[in-house]
Amino acid sequence: MRDLREGDVRPIGVFDSGLGGLTMVREFVKYLPGENIVYFGDTGRVPYGSRSPETIAQYARQDESFLLSQDVKMIIAACGTVSSVASHTGAGLPVPFIEVVSPAARAAAKLSKTGRIGVIGTSATISSGSYARQLQALRPDACVVSNDCPLFVPLVEAGWIDKDDPVTVETARRYLAPILEAKVDTLILGCTHYPVLSGIIGEIMGEDVTLINTGEMAARAAAAYLEFHGMLNRSEDERRCRYYVSDRTESFSKVAAILLGRQIGDRVERVDISKY
Ligand code: DGL
């Protein structure tokens, strides 16, 4: 029997192809401070961004099915790639589903003054045209310039995120050159791995360009949904976060600490995702 004064204490399920979704979990401190979390990072199959839409949808279904087995009250695809090419997998779920494209597109359409909006993401995300389509629907005057940045995910997963890292800085310069040339005033970081590189990206783009963190926008959307439906966790118990991965737990803990901004200790378990 649920105590109504406590709201819905079940955890929120968050998944990503790897560690990038942790940039969204980091935002929970601000927007969803009372929520318990179950995070699944598909580290054994990352990256998703270079795979076919069919494979990405199959992986997303397994990730969602694992989270459902953890009795979650909501599932968030903290992955721009899944949100772009496989968000239909969330439609039939028995719990609410939030993806990252719509909240970020809404924020960019609202914040951009000139309507010149840049989008960067994985190859699958950019070739799906998901952000451009939504931006154009929200703001027909928008001029959207996109570029895929396939090397960003492995650089982040390897922890090469230092602001002065010469390899990452040079890679970013090359990827951002066409966006810079297009004189955008807003740039959507269309992959949840990218906020970790926002220091480097911001420096290259200049301070007049607003960077949109997709994980942050989705966390806000999730908070608004749970609040509206009376599903926020109002219990005073300390919140619990459980982390699961589909490959070695050691390397996860190290980079996760950087992405989350705190140590996650030994609360990481390995899951055989092929069973889901
Ligand atoms: N964080 C995922 C995304 O937002 C990484 C993509 C990948 O696995 O290629 O797209």
Query: pLDDT for 232-242, tens place per residue?
Result: 999 888 888 99
pLDDT of residue 6: 78
Active-site residue, 149 included: no
Percent helix, strand, coil in the chain, to 5, is 45, 15, 35
3 state DSSP class of 203? helix
pLDDT over 70 (residue 59): yes
pLDDT of residue 238: 83
pLDDT of residue 138: 97
pLDDT over 80 (residue 252): no
pLDDT of residue 111: 97
The residue contributing the CA closest to ligand 1 atom 8 is 47
Question: What mean pLDDT do residues 75-79 have?
Answer: 97
Q: Residue 166 Cα, ligand 1 centroid: separation in angstroms? A: 23
Q: Residue 19 Cα, ligand 1 centroid: separation in angstroms? A: 9
Q: Residue 4 Cα, ligand 1 centroid: separation in angstroms? A: 37
pLDDT over 80 (residue 48): yes
Q: Which residue among 191, 196, 246 has the greatest number of ligand 1 atoms within 8 angstroms of its CB, and so is best to mutate?
A: 191
Over the chain, what is the mean pLDDT? 93
190 lines ligand 1 (CB under 6 A): no
Active-site residue, 79 included: yes
What does DSSP say about strands 241-245 and 143-148: parallel, antiparallel, or unpaired? unpaired
Per-residue confidence at 159, pLDDT binned at 50, 70, 90? confident
> What is the tens place of the pLDDT at every residue in 136-154?
999 999 999 999 999 998 8
Per-residue confidence at 105, pLDDT binned at 50, 70, 90? very high
Please tell me which residue in 143, 149, 191, 241 is annotated as part of the active site: 191
pLDDT over 90 (residue 31): yes
103 lines ligand 1 (CB under 6 A): no
3 state DSSP class of 100? coil
| CA dihedral sign, ordered 172, 173, 177, 182 | positive
pLDDT over 70 (residue 133): yes
Q: Are 216 and 27 in contact (CB under 8 A)?
A: yes
Per-residue confidence at 266, pLDDT binned at 50, 70, 90? low
- Pairwise CA distance, residues 158 & 251, whole Å: 9
Per-residue confidence at 11, pLDDT binned at 50, 70, 90? very high
193 lines ligand 1 (CB under 6 A): yes
Q: Of all atoms in ligand 1, which is nearest to the CA of residue 46?
A: 8
pLDDT of residue 3: 63
| CA dihedral sign, ordered 168, 19, 262, 120 | positive
Name which of 229, 238, 222 is nearest 8 in CA terms. Answer: 229
Per-residue confidence at 113, pLDDT binned at 50, 70, 90? very high
Q: Residue 118 Cα, ligand 1 centroid: separation in angstroms? A: 18
Please spell the DSSP secondary structure of 18-83, one letter per residue: SSTTHHHHHHHHHH-TT--EEEEE-TTT---TTS-HHHHHHHHHHHHHHHHTTT-SEEEE--HHHH
Q: Residue 6 Cα, ligand 1 centroid: separation in angstroms? A: 34
130 lines ligand 1 (CB under 6 A): no
pLDDT of residue 40: 97
215 lines ligand 1 (CB under 6 A): no
pLDDT of residue 264: 76
Provide the strand spans (E) within the chain.
Answer: 12-16, 37-41, 74-77, 97-98, 116-121, 143-148, 186-189, 210-213, 241-245, 268-270
Other C-beta atoms closer than 10 Å to the C-beta of 6 total: 14
3 state DSSP class of 153? helix
pLDDT over 90 (residue 225): yes
Per-residue confidence at 49, pLDDT binned at 50, 70, 90? confident
pLDDT over 80 (residue 254): no
Between residues 255 and 57, the one the model is more confident about = 57
Q: Which residues pair with 12 in a beta bridge?
A: 37, 74
86 lines ligand 1 (CB under 6 A): no
pLDDT of residue 50: 86
> What is the tens place of the pLDDT at every residue in 185-202?
999 999 999 999 999 999
